[in-house]
Structures are given as C-alpha cells and as structure tokens.
Amino acid sequence: MSVAPHFDLERVFSKDNVETGPTLRRIGSAVLLIGAVFVAIAVVMGFAGDATMKALTLHSLQIGAIVALGFPLGALGFSMILHAVNAGWWVLLRRQFENVFSLYWVGCAFVVGVFALQWVFINVGGGAAAGGAHAEAAQHVTPYLWHWMDPAHTTGDGLYAHKSPFLNVPFFVGRMALYFIVWGGLVTFFLNQGRQQEETNDAMATVRMGRASCIGLIVWAFTTAFAAFDWIMALDYHWFSTMFGVWFFAANTVSALALLSLIFVLLKTFGRAHGAITDEHLHDMGKLVFGFTVFWAYISFSQYFLIWYANIPEETMWFNVRRAEWTWLSWVLPICHFIVPFVFLIPRPARRSGLVLGIVSVWIIVLHMFDVFWNIRPQVRGVNHFTMTDVLGVLGPVLVFGGFLMMRIASRAVIPTNDPRQDEALTHKNYV
Amino acid sequence: MTLNSAAPPPCETFAVMGVFADVPAVFSAAEQCRDEGFTKWDVFSPFPIHGINEAMGLKASKVAYVMGTGAILGVATAVIMQGWTAAGADIHISWLSQLSGYNVNTAGKPLFAWEQFLPVIFELGVLFSAFGALLGMLALNGLPRHHHPLMTSEHFLSCSDDGFVIAIEAADPKFDEQETSSYLKSLGATHVEVVKS
C-alpha cells in the first residue's frame, strides 16, 4: 500500500543523526555547576540565617528535590505502562525515557541531603534555641521540615500519638531506604535489559521488560504514593488526603511527559533523530501531555472539592492556610496549569507543531514547580512571598538534575537500536 | 436486474461509478482523482482505509466546531441554571416579573459556590458536546435519508462486501459523462457504470 512512509535505515542510524556531540556535554556541566552553586548559596544562607531562614532553606530545597525526583519517577512509571501495553510506536523514544529515569538518584540524594540538613540545623546550628531567642513573632517558626520530628511540637498531641507507629524516625528512614532500593532495582533492570538488547540483538528483552512492568507498576505505585505521604503530605502531619498519592502520580507524569516532549522537540530542532522521531511521535506526546494535564486538574480539583464539601476542620485547615496566605498562587495553578495548556493543545496542528509543544512543555514544567511549591512551601507560616532562598533552593536541585540529564543525553545515541519493533515505530502514523 | 423494479424510470445522470478490485487500486485511483481536481466525489469501501483522507485530499472535518459550540453551550447552561436556582432569589427579569430563582443554603456554603457547580458544569459540557458530535455528524453527512441514487446500482452493493467504489457526481464542474467514464476505466476500474437519479 502506498501510504507506508519510506525510511532509510542507513540514514536513520547514521552517526550524524544519533549522536549529539560534546557541546551538549559542556552546556550540561555548566548547568550542573550553576545548580550546585545555587544549592550551596541556599545552604549557606540557612546556616547564616535565623530559624525562619533555616526553615525556608529546608522547604525550598525539598521542593527542588521533589521536582527533580518527579521527572524520573514519572518517566519510569510511564515507560512501564508503555512496556506493559506493548506500545510499538514508542520504542525509538525509549532511550530518552531511560535517560530521564536513570537519574532518579539525583532527587533521592537531595531528599537525603535535606533530611541530613535538618538534623544539622537542629543539633549543630542551635536552631531551636534561636527560635526562642528570636523576637516572639505571631507565627513561631522552628528550623524543622518534618514538624512531627520536633518533640516540642508533638508533646501532648493526641493525633501525633495516634500516628506515631507510622510517623517515627526509624520507620521513616527505613521506608526511605526501601523506596530507593525499589526504584534503583527497577531502573537498573530496565537499563540492563535495554543495554542487553542493544548488544546482543535479543528480542526477548522486550518480552521480559513487558512482564516485569506489570509487577513493577504495582510496586512503583505503592512506593511513589507512600513517598508522597512521607515527604510532602506529612509535612503537615495533622492533615491527610487519600487522593495525595494519585496527585503525585498525575503531577509527576505530566511533568515528565512535558520534559520528554521538550527533549524530543530540541533533538528535532538540532537535526537529530531525523526519521526516527517524527511529527507523528510529537503528536502522540502532545496528546499525552494534554491528557495528563486534564488528569492533573481532575485529581487536584477532586481533592479540594471533597475536602471543601465535607468541611472537616483537620482537613480544611490545610487548604485554609494555602487560600489565606497564597491566594494568588491558588488561582494561578488552575488557570495556568490547566486552562492555558488545555486551550493551547486543543487544535490538532498545535500538538504536531514542535514550536507550540516546546513552549507548552516549558510552561508546564515551570507550573509544575509552582504546584509542588504550593504543596510544600505554605508550611512556613507567615512568610507568604517569594524570597531569594526560594528561588535558589528550588532551582538549584532542578538545574543539577538538568545538567546531569544533558550530560547523560550527550553520552549515548539518542535512539536505541535492535528493538524488534523499530519498523513499527518508524512507520508510525496518526490517522485522526 | 435493477434493485427496485417498481421505481419510476431514471431520468437524469447522477454520477459515474467505477468498481475497483482491491485497496491499492482504489487508493491510487483516489490520489489521481484528487490530483485531477474533482471536488464532488467519494470513495466507498467495506472497511475504513487508513490514509484515504490524504489520498482524497479531504480537509479536517468541521464536526469539531459543532462539538465545541455544544461544549460552550453546555457549560453556559450549567452555570446559568445552577446560579439561577441556587443564588437567584434577588435576580428579577423585568419582563417575567413572577419568575425568580431561589437562595438555597447548602451546608452553610456561599450561595454562588463555583466548587459545587463544577461537576454539573463538566457533565453538561460533555453531554452537549456529545449531542453536538452526533447531530453535527448527521447534518454534515446529510443524514438521515431514505434513499441514495447510488443504491439503484447492483454493482454499488459490492462495496458492502468485497468491492471498492469511486463515484464522481454529475454536479462536479469537471464532470463529463463520456470523459469521466473513460477516465475511471483508465484508472483501473473493473466495471464502470453511469448512475441515473
């Protein structure tokens, strides 16, 4: 049939088409350096500042860490979904998904770092004493990120006593280790299978990845949900939401898909992966970004709506703080994170255009940072404006992740070889 | 041999119709009809053919605009209806002085609370856009209709089984009964027929 597009395998897998060159590696190391400097300045500001500044440092670095961790978790989960459903269109995009999720350790390292920094602030910086010495403000701020770890905060708190079998430091550290082991295991497995297929032309690797994904998805779903409970929801340990794990999944997936769309658009712009990543693949990425934007809005609204309607004090309190202290941001999120990309991605030509998809992807990544910010940062009561620490602490870990990602992309061919379904991906076409 | 022997005698030429044996034949024939510049013509097949839209040079369907209009109407209906019934006691329309809404206090929430309206806004948006899709599709296809002139042809029926049909209508500006018939023949049609209306 004459509709099948003709492709030239020699041309697709030629060196010029699949290698990115040393410039990207140099840009990557520069971005990495800038990110590291940002993180260092934020940490130094924390050490030099009072209890409020220490709390700001911890919270902003935690935001950056969660954003940097969200990209790999989203990419890992979504590639497992695509493996499990045997998606043929996607196999040549797999390398970039691998590049993103192989860097899960950056976010993990930052979460551990924030946990360690809190310990240092409390035990070495004398933060608790500084908080008392500080002029008695209306909002008493202590240099804690996880307030349930503060004995002064939890003494006589019946709710904490009830939750203490789960929220105690040994179990918390144990869970943290478990998440890292599970994610590390999954990432190592998929990277190894991909490498094996590349080297030995082993078609069965595809089957093994598909089978492992079905189990991996369940394990991944539980670990990411509980990580969200531990590292975001438990920052206000009185509050609880059964939707929170789903929100974390939706937010991570939309940010990861936006980041990957941006990578594909940039690869195409710089003349790489010609014939392997086509407008058809961009179209599908655009559809997924559009769909998960709607899903994110649906989940975020459902969480708010049910709590608003039920009107139970310990649940509404969390939203009250955000509505009272971050009113403008509470409106920016639904309008800019949902309505704007929704309207922009509705027309079919927009989803097929690299320019529109690239702009929307950057927009969504920025709004995702605001989303995580809105979830974490209002825990520092009374400082309801951006500070320099917020900018440095959020961008630092994200830039470090971005730097490592660029270096990783530069170090390998941009598309995998020897996939048994590569012809399906090369001839992929959207008919509607 | 006609489908309906009781029908009045055919009078006017409706179209010229060619039957093709397989998908590749009808596909390339469609591409050539497109390039020849025909505008009022169609391809009939027993199953959807991927890529036939491009081969025929069809533009994107306009049904999306009908659907979008339906969605906007649905959202507007939901906002007005709920706002009117839940917080409309003080809204009076001068030419309908008896008619006003209600003020319904639900669990102490604000009367005009957009949060509780949103599920209905979503539902009516989906419902009206589905109506728009269905009715728009029917209208744009000229459906429902009881009869179509092509159905008088015995050979046309093959396109519900194993035949692939291209029909070029007499209303096409480039139509000429003799020339178009031989054109379809030259494209590889196994059978060419003039269909009367």
Give A161-178 as a 3 state SS string.
HHHCCCCCHHHHHHHHHH
Please give the angle made by the CA atoms of B27, B29 and B33, to the nearest 5 degrees: 120
What is the nearest CA distance from A401 to chain B, expressed in angstroms?
Answer: 37
* pLDDT value at residue A140: 64
* pLDDT value at residue A324: 93
- Gyration radius of chain A over CA positions: 23
Name the token pair of A33.
């350096």
Q: Which residues of B fall within a CB distance of 8 Å from A304?
A: 115
Q: Are residues B118 and B169 part of one domain?
A: no
Name the amino acid, one letter, at A136.
E
- Domain range holding B120? 63-141
Residue B168 lies in a domain: yes
* pLDDT value at residue A128: 46
- The percent of residues above 70 in pLDDT, for chain A, comes to 94
A257 closest CA partner among A105, A97, A406, A432? A97
What letter would DSSP give residue B112? S
Tell me how far apart the alpha carbons of residues A267 and A99 are, in angstroms, rounded to a whole number. Answer: 14
* pLDDT value at residue B7: 59
Q: Which residues of chain B have pLDDT under 70?
A: 1-10, 93, 96-98
Residue A95: how many CB atoms within 10 A of its CB? 21
Cβ within 8 Å of residue A170, ≥6 positions away: none
* pLDDT value at residue B146: 87
* pLDDT value at residue B17: 92
* pLDDT value at residue B6: 59
Q: Are residues B180 and B112 part of one domain?
A: no
| pLDDT tens digits along A131-158 | 444 444 445 678 889 989 988 888 888 8
Q: Which residues of A fall within a CB distance of 8 Å from B65?
A: none
Q: Which residues of B fall within a CB distance of 8 Å from A305?
A: 115-116, 118-119
Tell me how far apart the alpha carbons of residues B111 and A55 are, in angstroms, rounded to a whole number. Answer: 39
Tell me how far apart the alpha carbons of residues B89 and B82 are, in angstroms, rounded to a whole number. Answer: 12
Cβ within 8 Å of residue B21, ≥6 positions away: B163, B164, B190
Q: Which residues of A fall within a CB distance of 8 Å from B119?
A: 305
Name the token pair of A94.
């797999």
Interchain contact, A429 vs B28, CB within 8 Å: no
Tell me how far apart the alpha carbons of residues B41 and B183 are, in angstroms, rounded to a whole number. Answer: 14
H helices of B23-175, in order, are 23-36, 52-56, 63-87, 114-141
Residue B4 lies in a domain: no
More confident residue, A10 or A352: A352
Cβ within 8 Å of residue A19, ≥6 positions away: A272, A413, A414
| Mean local confidence (pLDDT), A341-347 | 92
Helical axes A244-269 vs A94-101, angle rounded to 10°: 120
Name the token pair of A234.
């438990």
- Which candidate from A301, A305, A431 shows the least CB-CB separation from B50? A431
| Mean local confidence (pLDDT), A183-206 | 94
A379 closest CA partner among A75, A127, A142, A161? A142
Name the amino acid, one letter, at B178.
Q
Cβ-count burial of A348 within 10 angstroms (0-12 exposed, 13-18 middle, 19+ buried)? middle
Q: Are residues B71 and B56 part of one domain?
A: no
Interchain contact, A429 vs B115, CB within 8 Å: no
Tell me how far apart the alpha carbons of residues B80 and B77 are, in angstroms, rounded to a whole number. Answer: 5
**Residue B65 φ then ψ, to 5°:** -70, -40
Average pLDDT over chain A reads 91
* pLDDT confidence tier of residue A2, bands split at 50, 70 and 90: very low
* pLDDT value at residue B5: 56
What is the nearest CA distance from B51 to chain A, expressed in angstroms?
Answer: 6
Q: Are residues B159 and B117 part of one domain?
A: no
Tell me how far apart the alpha carbons of residues A11 and A344 are, in angstroms, rounded to a whole number. Answer: 34
Give Cα separations from A27 to A30, A263, A337 (angstroms).
5, 15, 29
- Give the number of beta-carbon pairs within 8 Å between A and B: 32
**Residue B175 φ then ψ, to 5°:** -75, 135
| pLDDT tens digits along B90-140 | 777 677 666 777 888 888 888 888 899 999 999 999 999 999 999 999 999
* pLDDT value at residue A275: 87
Q: Are residues B135 and B103 part of one domain?
A: yes
| Mean local confidence (pLDDT), A56-78 | 96
Contact A393, A60 (CB under 8 A): yes
What is the nearest CA distance from B24 to chain A, expressed in angstroms?
Answer: 5
* pLDDT value at residue A19: 87
Tell me how far apart the alpha carbons of residues A323 and A318 are, in angstroms, rounded to a whole number. Answer: 9
Q: Are residues B73 and B31 part of one domain?
A: no
Residue B177 lies in a domain: yes
* pLDDT confidence tier of residue A341, bands split at 50, 70 and 90: very high
Please report which helix (H) or strand (E) contains residue B13, including its range: strand B13-20
Q: Are residues B135 and B115 part of one domain?
A: yes
* pLDDT value at residue A1: 39
* pLDDT value at residue B9: 59
Whole-model pTM: value is 0.89
* pLDDT value at residue B96: 67
Residue B5 lies in a domain: no
Tell me how far apart the alpha carbons of residues A325 and A396 are, in angstroms, rounded to a whole number. Answer: 25
pLDDT at A284 over 90: yes
Within an 8 Å CB–CB cutoff, is residue A313 touching chain B? no
| Mean local confidence (pLDDT), A284-311 | 95
| Mean local confidence (pLDDT), A405-431 | 90
Give Cα separations from A145 to A113, A115, A148 (angstroms).
12, 8, 9
* pLDDT value at residue A124: 79
* pLDDT confidence tier of residue A129, bands split at 50, 70 and 90: very low
Within an 8 Å CB–CB cutoff, is residue A431 touching chain B? yes
| Mean local confidence (pLDDT), A333-361 | 94
Residue B2 lies in a domain: no
Residue of B nearest to A4 (CA): B51
- Largest Cα span, chain B: 79
Interchain contact, A309 vs B115, CB within 8 Å: yes
* pLDDT value at residue A235: 93
Of the residues B32, B47, B50, the best mutation for testing chain A's interface (the one with the most A CB atoms within 10 Å of its CB) is B50
Cβ-count burial of A138 within 10 angstroms (0-12 exposed, 13-18 middle, 19+ buried)? exposed
Contact A246, A228 (CB under 8 A): no
Tell me how far apart the alpha carbons of residues B129 and B112 are, in angstroms, rounded to a whole number. Answer: 25
Residue B181 lies in a domain: yes
- Which candidate from A2, A304, A311 shows the least CB-CB separation from B107? A311
| pLDDT tens digits along A228-271 | 999 999 999 999 999 999 999 999 999 999 999 999 999 999 98
Tell me how far apart the alpha carbons of residues A64 and A107 are, in angstroms, rounded to a whole number. Answer: 8
DSSP string, B142-173: T-S-S--GGGG-TGGGGGGTT-EEEEEETTST
Name the amino acid, one letter, at A422.
Q
Is A283 strand, coil or helix?
helix
Q: Which residues of B fall within a CB distance of 8 Å from A339?
A: none
Q: Which residues of B fall within a CB distance of 8 Å from A316?
A: none
Residue of A nearest to B26 (CA): A1
Q: Are residues B153 and B115 part of one domain?
A: no
Tell me how far apart the alpha carbons of residues A189 and A205 are, in angstroms, rounded to a whole number. Answer: 11
Tell me how far apart the alpha carbons of residues B28 and B30 are, in angstroms, rounded to a whole number. Answer: 5
Cβ-count burial of B127 within 10 angstroms (0-12 exposed, 13-18 middle, 19+ buried)? middle
Q: Are residues B70 and B33 part of one domain?
A: no
Q: Which residues of B fall within a CB distance of 8 Å from A309?
A: 107, 109, 115-116
Residue B56 lies in a domain: yes
Name the token pair of A413.
């061919």
Interchain contact, A2 vs B50, CB within 8 Å: no
* pLDDT confidence tier of residue A10, bands split at 50, 70 and 90: confident
Q: Are residues B78 and B110 part of one domain?
A: yes
Contact A406, A96 (CB under 8 A): no
Question: ipTM for the complex?
Answer: 0.79
Question: For tokens 């004090």, what's the residue?
Answer: A313
Tell me how far apart the alpha carbons of residues B44 and A81 are, in angstroms, rounded to a whole number. Answer: 38
Q: Are residues B92 and B43 part of one domain?
A: no
Q: Which residues of A fall within a CB distance of 8 Å from B54?
A: 3
* pLDDT value at residue B19: 93
Residue of A nearest to B53 (CA): A431
Q: Which residues of B fall within a CB distance of 8 Å from A308?
A: 115
Total domains in the fold of chain B: 2
Of the residues A279, A302, A309, the best mutation for testing chain B's interface (the one with the most B CB atoms within 10 Å of its CB) is A309
Contact A374, A333 (CB under 8 A): yes
- For residue B48, the Cα-to-chain-centroid distance in whole angstroms is 15
Residue B161 lies in a domain: yes
Last residue of a domain, one of B141, B158, B183: B141
Residue A26: how many CB atoms within 10 A of its CB? 13
pLDDT at A204 over 50: yes
Within an 8 Å CB–CB cutoff, is residue A124 touching chain B? no
Is B100 strand, coil or helix?
strand
Interchain contact, B51 vs A429, CB within 8 Å: yes
Q: Which residues of A fall within a CB distance of 8 Å from B117?
A: none
- The percent of residues above 90 in pLDDT, for chain A, comes to 77
Instruction: Report the length, in residues, of chain A.
Output: 432
Within an 8 Å CB–CB cutoff, is residue A311 touching chain B? yes
Last residue of a domain, one of B141, B162, B181: B141
Q: Are residues B137 and B71 part of one domain?
A: yes
Cβ within 8 Å of residue A367, ≥6 positions away: A332, A333, A336, A337
The domain that contains B191 carries what CATH number?
Answer: 3.30.70
